[in-house]
Amino acid sequence: MLGPLLALPDVDPSRDLLVLVDEVALDLGRFRLRGAGSAGGHNGLKSVEGALQRQDYARLRIGVGPRPMDYDDLADYVLDRFTAEERQQLEALLEPLCEVVECWLDEGIERTMNRYNRVPPPPPHPEPSS
């Protein structure tokens, strides 16, 4: 998956790679940007780190909330479909997430983290659909 990117001559994953992942440690509607770090048990990030053989690449963790008690397996939860309300909350994140990615492209990881990793107010709850 990363082979073609890594084969390019001047590619530096610490500067040129941003990986977006789901994150159960963050509430739905939250996100967190990091410039480096461990996979923290995330299988997708473990795979990226295995391919890169390093941990210094940017990752944007997008909250999906903790595993509900009625799910025995975390993988079943993160791979399941979102409810209509959850989809609305995630759709509301699309514009801010695009802004984060654009800022990262234009200004780099440090400035982007400083700008967007503040604790935001709770997201508005969408009106229940009838």
Task: Work out the average pLDDT over 48-74.
Answer: 87
pTM, 2 dp: 0.81
As given in the structure block, the two tokens for residue 69 are: 């008690």
Does the pLDDT of residue 60 top 90, yes or no?
yes
Parse the chain into domains and list their residue ranges. Answer: 3-116
Looking at every residue in the chain, the average pLDDT score rounds to: 87
What pLDDT score was predicted for residue 7? 81
* CATH 3.40.220.10 for domain 3-116: no
Q: Are the C-beta atoms of 89 and 29 separated by less than 8 Å?
A: yes
Q: What is the structure's pLDDT at 77?
A: 83
Angle between helices 84-107 and 109-116 (to 10 degrees): 140
Residue 26 burial (C-beta neighbours within 10 Å; 0-12, 13-18, 19+)? middle
pLDDT at residue 119, rounded to an integer: 62
User: What's the confidence (pLDDT) of residue 34?
Assistant: 94
Percent of the chain with pLDDT over 90: 48
What pLDDT digit, counting tens, does each position of 95-129 carry? 999 999 999 999 999 999 999 997 655 666 666 66
